[in-house]
């Protein structure tokens, strides 16, 4: 059952990327933006607490 869900999710992602590449790229760009913001926040926190 676990493999079915995993392969189904992969198939859905591939289908989404093929049928709507602009939307998929926008979502990926947004996710990387969130990761960048999180990284910057952690970096600032560590810098502020270390000094």
Q: In the structure encoding, which two tokens stand for residue 44, read together?
A: 């600032």
Residue with tokens 């996710």: 31
pLDDT in tens, 1-51: 789 999 999 999 999 999 999 999 999 999 999 999 999 999 999 999 976
Please tell me the distance from the alpha carbon of residue 27 to that of residue 4, in angstroms, as a whole number.
Answer: 25
The residue segments making up the domain with residue 27 are 2-50
Distance CA 50, CA 16 (A): 44
Reported for 9-16, long-range contacts at CB under 8 A and 24+ positions apart, including other chains, are none
State residue 51's pLDDT score: 65
- Helices 2-19, 21-50: crossing angle, 10 deg rounding: 110
State how many domains the chain has.
1
């Amino acid at each position: 059952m676990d493999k079915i869900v995993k392969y189904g999710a992969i198939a859905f992602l591939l289908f989404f990327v093929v049928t709507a590449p602009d939307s998929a790229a926008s979502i990926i760009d947004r996710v990387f933006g969130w990761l960048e913001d999180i990284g910057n926040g952690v970096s600032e926190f560590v810098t502020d607490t270390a000094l």
